[in-house]
Amino acid sequence: MQPTRARLAYQTSCRSPCKYNVNSVGDCLAGMDTHSHAKATAGLSHNRHAVSVTCALSQPSIQPTMTSRPFYPFAAVALSLALAACAPMSTSASADSSAQRYSFGLWGDMPYKKAGDAPKLPAVLASINASDIAFSMYDGDIKDGSSKCGDDVYTDALTMFNTLKKPVVYVPGDNEWTDCHRTNNGGMDPLERLAHLRRVMYPSTKSLGQQTLPLQHQGALGQPYVENTRFAYGPVVFAGFNMPGSNNNQVISVKKCSSKSQRTQADCDAANAEFSARDAANRQWLKDTFAQAHASGARGVVLVVQGEPGFDVAETEDIDDSQAPGVSGYRAFMSNVEAQTRDFPGQVLFVHGDQHVFKVDKPLPRSLNPLLNFTRVETFGSPSLHWVKVTVDATSTNLFQVAPVIVQHGK
């Protein structure tokens, strides 16, 4: 169930939230030789600040945010932000199939308790709420990998997501289920936590957020693969996949099975059976996503996962990093991604988190011999609490225009 929203009587009427108006966004794809600079204005409370938005691999944008609000416990902060924004109760927003230019947000791997992220989180949520995005997608890890996987983790995450005024689509990460076997996570059963996640984090067929988007789900509510989602917006088909870090829950050795864990071999056999079934389901969801994109004449496809799938690194010339044992759980899926991308006439944007380092590049199949219609975006993550804004422009040869949004945090 979603957290109950409180009612609050205001003596004065609420002010309009920040407006973030971007006239144009430059070419941000890696490998481009030129960068177009865009200007934006943002207003927050009584003040107006001029901010500059520039592309990836250039000077990042700085988003003005509230820094004077004191920090309270997580749920109270999220609720106070929602009330301060004068947000309405949850409403449904239909995906706009005619939208030729719009923006969406990408974020994930936050907040991490061990990194002390809690005081920074309100500014991130305020920044996203103050922007002009149509929706956002969160690419996993609602907690750090060294804390307990209690039920409160998921209810706190729902509170966080439902603080956002616009729809947000949640994609699972390894920290909230795959890694829950770790002793410092409480030594819990990852498969039980995955079942709990499916019941709690997908309470309806719609997205999370105060406004919602209707979503297609691969599974029924509360059932396997409900977390695999899909929707179309303008000329783009979006799909989320449960493909987390920690090698996609594939256990490749006895040593990996027992490392920092009390798992038995039977537990790891069950994990591998889960991996095999879900990997097959993910590949089917991928196939269906591209089939929908072809049938609808979509200009682009956005694929969102949490785990870094082992892209080859140009600096290791004599080593194919994609063949490393620790990323074997992604290999079949990424082989299908490559094949589908080669067969698709439009642009493919592949989004993941996991390593917490913002990147925009073209690493498939090799950085030095890339598929030009494939672009990877890796999102920020703890302790760097920022987000990424992607503008879709159907009139541009660069359909996806990517810019980091740097959030100012109070000292």
DSSP letters along 130-145, please?
Answer: HS--SEEEE-S-SS-T
Better-predicted residue by pLDDT, 395 or 95:
395
Across residues 220-244, what is the average pLDDT? 98
- Cβ-based neighbours of 127, under 8 Å, separated by 6 or more: 63, 65, 387, 405, 407
Better-predicted residue by pLDDT, 267 or 72:
267
Q: What is the pLDDT of residues 29-39, one digit of tens each?
A: 333 332 333 32
Q: What is the pLDDT of residues 88-140, one digit of tens each?
A: 445 666 677 678 999 999 999 999 999 999 999 999 999 999 999 999 999 99
Segment among 26-35, 336-345, 354-363 with least mean pLDDT: 26-35
Report the pLDDT value the prediction gives residue 70, as an integer from 0 to 100: 34
Q: How far apart (Å, rounded) are the C-alpha atoms in residues 243 and 403?
A: 25
Q: What is the pLDDT of residues 234-259, one digit of tens each?
A: 999 999 999 999 999 999 999 999 99
Q: How far apart (Å, rounded) are the C-alpha atoms in residues 387 and 130?
A: 13
Q: What is the pTM of this model?
A: 0.79
Report the pLDDT value the prediction gives residue 93, as an integer from 0 to 100: 64
Grouping H, G, I as helix, E, B as strand and the rest as coil, residue 84 is: helix
Q: Please answer whether residues 66 and 44 qualify as being in contact, where contact means their C-beta atoms are separated by less than 8 angstroms.
A: yes
Segment among 59-63, 154-158, 224-228, 365-369 with least mean pLDDT: 59-63
Instruction: Determine what percent of the chain falls in helix, strand and coil, rounding each to the nearest 5.
Output: 30, 25, 50
* Residue 271: half-sphere exposure toward Cβ, Cα within 13 Å: 29
Report the pLDDT value the prediction gives residue 97, as an integer from 0 to 100: 66
Report the pLDDT value the prediction gives residue 411, as an integer from 0 to 100: 64
Better-predicted residue by pLDDT, 99 or 371:
371
H-only helix segments in 162-264: 190-200, 254-258
Segment among 89-103, 137-151, 182-196, 381-395 with least mean pLDDT: 89-103
Report the pLDDT value the prediction gives residue 354, as an integer from 0 to 100: 95
Assign 293 a pLDDT band (cuts: 50, 70, 90). Answer: very high
Q: How far apart (Å, rounded) are the C-alpha atoms in residues 122 and 128?
A: 10
- Which domains are assigned to the chain? 20-407 (3.60.21)
Across residues 299-323, what is the average pLDDT? 88
